[in-house]
Amino acid sequence: MTRRSTLVRGSARLSDPNTVAVEVGTPRGAFTVTTTADATLASPTASAVPLLVPVAMRHGRSLHLDGEIDDTQAEGLEHVQSTLTSWYSHLGRAVVHAPVFEVPVDRSAGVGCFFSGGVDSFHSALTRSERITHLIFVVGFDLAPEHPLVKTALTEVRRAAESLGKTLVVVHTDVRAMSDRHGMSWGPLYHGAAMAHVAIALSDHVGTVLVPSSFVRGQTPPWGTHPDLDHRWATATSVLEHDAIEVPRPAKIARIAQYPTAMEHLRVCWQNRDGAYNCGRCEKCLRTMLALRAVGGQCRTLPERIDPAAVAALKLTSGQARAMRRNIAAMTASGTGTPELLAAMERAVDRSDRYWSRVFRTHAWVTARLPF
């Protein structure tokens, strides 16, 4: 079926030295995305491109920009679109209409790292410390601007940055409304584009920005940040690097457990039950607590006690079950797991195995009876 060609228009400007305003016109109406920082921003049109291209791919085939892009960015967009269309059938290629110019490579010597205070970002910040000059914390990605924990999170990352001797740049953005409004999943698709937007806007301060990996090589699904994707958002003055794709999460946790700064300020929770910084009861909190227990790590921001009943009650995806098995093996080898806790972990894995076995059998049964 041929898709109806629709038009997306975009323009960007610095409304003040610290604020980029991206104006977007789509078949669903016009609106503005605002990104502000406690540092000066630059390259408004170039920084808007990562936000606009997925929207154009989602709703039409034509993106008109009121501004120029450089030849590095224009070339990268071809690869970005090839990758995204190979992953997601609901996206189509968009023709980007904008003047393209050549500029000499003249990047800032600063090196930034996106820093949420989680396992992945702490690992990058600690192991790449000699390179990194700036840590970048964004309000509006995993924590909405109005979230009651924003103030606490900012306090923790400021203390962590000071302890690590790095300049902290705090960014506020309402960009997530863009993905929500246009039906683009934040994790699998849009958050990588949003990170590229921020990195390019900060190009006067950091010419290279590290994107901490979420997965390990060989187990990387289609995802908004990806080793095949991040560097393709580059401009002549801004490069993104996907960091630590070779390091599995248990190894990251074992590494950061050796650093008091990480153990003092770690933030892993996204459910934040009862308004807690780390609730200690969700799957991610418990997975991290178990991995820390296995290596003898003690974290101030996570509960010291692990509730076996909460572990046993977990409903795990197949990937989470693999992580639980690794934790069982590690805790058994190190002697850090009590019989009650190890039994609870085994129960959670067994339930997961039975569930996914039923799913796969049902899928096979249905597939075998399809008339084609």
Dihedral sign for Cα 146, 151, 152, 156, please.
positive
Give the per-residue pLDDT at 363.
54
Q: For 189, which DSSP code?
A: I
Read off the tokens for 339. 């019989």
- Domain 111-243, what architecture? 3-Layer(aba) Sandwich (3.40)
Give the per-residue pLDDT at 2.
43
How many separate helices (H) and strands (E) can be counted in the chain?
Answer: 12, 12
CB 262 within 8 A of CB 122: yes
The Cβ of residue 188 has, within 10 Å, a number of other Cβ atoms equal to 15
Give the per-residue pLDDT at 364.
55
Alpha carbon 318 to its chain centroid, in Å, reads 21
Q: Which of 311, 317, 304, 372 is nearest to 344 (CA)?
A: 311
pLDDT tens digits, residue range 215-248? 999 889 999 999 999 999 999 999 999 999 999 9
Tracing tokens 């076996």 back to the chain, one arrives at: 308
CB 63 within 8 A of CB 27: no
Q: For 272, which DSSP code?
A: -
CB 97 within 8 A of CB 65: yes
Percent of the chain with pLDDT over 70: 95
Q: Which of 52, 49, 25, 47 is nearest to 36 (CA)?
A: 47
pTM for this entry: 0.93
DSSP string for residues in 31-90? EEEEEEESS----HHHHHHHHHHHHHHHH-SEEEESS-EEHHHHHHHHHHHHHHHHH-TT
End-to-end, the C-alpha distance of the chain in Å comes to 21
Q: How far apart are CA 73 and CA 332, in angstroms?
A: 50
Read off the tokens for 248. 């599995």
**CA distance readout (Å), 252 to 44, 255, 257, 304, 335:** 35, 5, 8, 20, 20
Read off the tokens for 129. 């410390």
Bridge partners, residue 9, by sequence: 25, 64
* 3-state SS class at 26: strand
> How would you write the pLDDT of the chain (372 residues) with one tens digit per residue?
344 557 899 999 999 999 999 999 988 788 899 999 999 999 999 999 999 999 999 887 799 999 999 999 999 999 999 999 999 999 999 999 999 998 877 899 999 999 999 999 999 999 999 999 999 999 999 999 999 999 999 999 999 999 999 999 999 999 998 888 888 899 999 999 999 999 999 999 999 999 999 999 988 999 999 999 999 999 999 999 999 999 999 999 999 999 999 999 999 998 898 899 999 999 999 999 999 999 999 999 999 999 999 999 999 988 899 989 999 999 999 999 999 999 999 999 999 888 877 766 665 544 455 544
Tracing tokens 């992580």 back to the chain, one arrives at: 323
Q: Where do the structural domains in the chain lie, given as residue ranges?
A: 7-101, 111-243, 268-363
CB 287 within 8 A of CB 302: no
pLDDT tens digits, residue range 103-130? 877 899 999 999 999 999 999 999 999 9
Q: How far apart are CA 331 and CA 328, in angstroms?
A: 5
Dihedral sign for Cα 277, 224, 317, 250, please.
negative
CB 15 within 8 A of CB 21: yes
Give the per-residue pLDDT at 119.
98
Residue type for position 108: S
DSSP string for residues in 230-242? GGGG-BTTBEEEE
Beta strand ranges found along 75-224 (DSSP E): 95-97, 100-101, 111-114, 134-139, 167-173, 208-212
